[in-house]
Amino acid sequence: MAKIMVQGTASSVGKSILVTALCRIFTQDGYKVCPYKAQNMSLNSYITLDGKEMGRAQVLQAYASGLEPEAYMNPILLKPTSDQKCQIIVNGEVYGNSSAMEYHNLKLKFRDMLKNQFDELEKKFDIIVMEGAGSPAEINLRDRDIVNMGMAELVDAPVILVGDIDKGGVFASLVGTLMLLEDNEKERVKGTVINKFRGDVDILKPGIDMLEDISKKQCLGVVPHFTLALEDEDGAVELNKNITDKIDIAVIKLPRVSNFTDLDALKIEEDVSVRYITSLEEFKNPDLLIIPGTKNTIEDLNVLKTSGLFDKIKEYSKKGNVIGICGGYQMLGKKIKDPYKVESNNLETEGLGLLDIETVFENKKVTTRVEGTVINKDLFNTTKEDINVYGYEIHMGVSELGENADPLFRITKENGEKCDHIDGVINKERTVIGTYLHGVFDNIDFREVIINELRSEKGIECKKAQPYENLREKELDRLADLVRSSLDMDKVYEIVGLKK
């Protein structure tokens, strides 16, 4: 069974996107490919067709491989709830909450599970493209590592080591990482890659020659810095803060923001600028304000109050448009109650009061894929017969609607099974919307209606929305072409143990 692992000198060096590129390249070359990351730490998660939770980075890698995302591609997902604690997701389901030390002690318990699962994957796929996390040179974590060299050793995978030249010090980071590895780990590294390069590669060549001489490892290539309409990798999002087009969409950058990929589909629309704000000074006068999801609604709501953004949002809502997603939806309500102290010790917290709902946190986590339709399309300025929606829900709270809350969506399917219930709320003035649906803007009809409403308000001609999925496929092919031309793919195939 062929496999290869991409590790990095640090977080955010481009491991996820290079794994994505290799998945698409191998798939284009006729192989059955599976992405795999034993342990991911991210608040950016996704719900599979069978209602399991996994990291978004492996979702994009699955699409690159021509596969439907499955939780086995990311068997352990850590979702930080504070600087010291996280929620542990194992095989797509909540395992529990733990401190950093408690999880460190749990790792050995998961090792046999990971090995057995990986052995089964090897029977089903031609190539498994693995991704590490952070750096393999975290020497304090080596004895219990299950995601970098520990995982590579467990399944006997060759490793490519990636460094980010855009941050500076790429030669030192590559050599320094190798120096901190054990001899058997150094032997496992079969080559290096320099990522995110800007400039003339010829100027870099003397440095590459010295790198190879010092490290005794071949440099497999230099990947240029690029911008594609693909999801940002975990932890590496460069948040735009500037207005770059006619329609100004501002997103509150919450301290514990989750599922920031909910906004990606908006970024591909003509006339649209998406920027992120964290202070009153950055607020300005947007055409639409979005409050996104969060891993801790109550704590982030309290941050809005202390920063002054809470009162600013209430003031803005009198003349502006607001959309809240998941945790942002809960914040828009009158109250949030936490009787079981799921998120904090605050049993009741005042919300923004822009929607007539109250939310109660329960111990059971909702993780579902849903389909539905807009209940009352007359609430929108559109001639469309039906506005269908799909998305996924990840939340602990249940929101009860008051008398002045108009339901937004009728949900007709959950995880492929028929159902009939409502989701979301729109106010009487059609200016404030809330929904639990992550990925709601991926829906071409819903996105078109929302953006055309904003265009109409500014006197801009209405336009057809672009299908996000089609664009993603084209961008994945562009990514594969770029990386294929940048790397020595003959050598990569040799490392994998297959012929090109």
Tell me which of 34, 326, 395, 421 is the catalytic residue. Answer: 326
Burial of 335 (0-12, 13-18, 19+ CB in 10 A): middle
Cβ count within 10 A of residue 445: 18
Tell me which of 34, 86, 395, 438 is the catalytic residue. Answer: 438
Instruction: Decide if 438 is catalytic.
Output: yes
CA atoms of 345 and 435, how far apart (whole Å): 25
In angstroms, what CA-CA distances link 315 with 74, 308, 386, 408? Answer: 42, 11, 33, 23
Measure CA 39 to chain center.
Answer: 14
491: helix, coil or strand? helix
CA atoms of 109 and 38, how far apart (whole Å): 13
CA atoms of 131 and 412, how far apart (whole Å): 37
Short-list 32, 53, 33, 35, CA closest to 44? 53
Instruction: Decide if 419 is catalytic.
Output: no
Structure tokens at 365: 């986590």
Length of the chain: 500
β-strand pairing of 2-8 with 288-291 = unpaired
263: helix, coil or strand? helix
Active site members: 326, 438
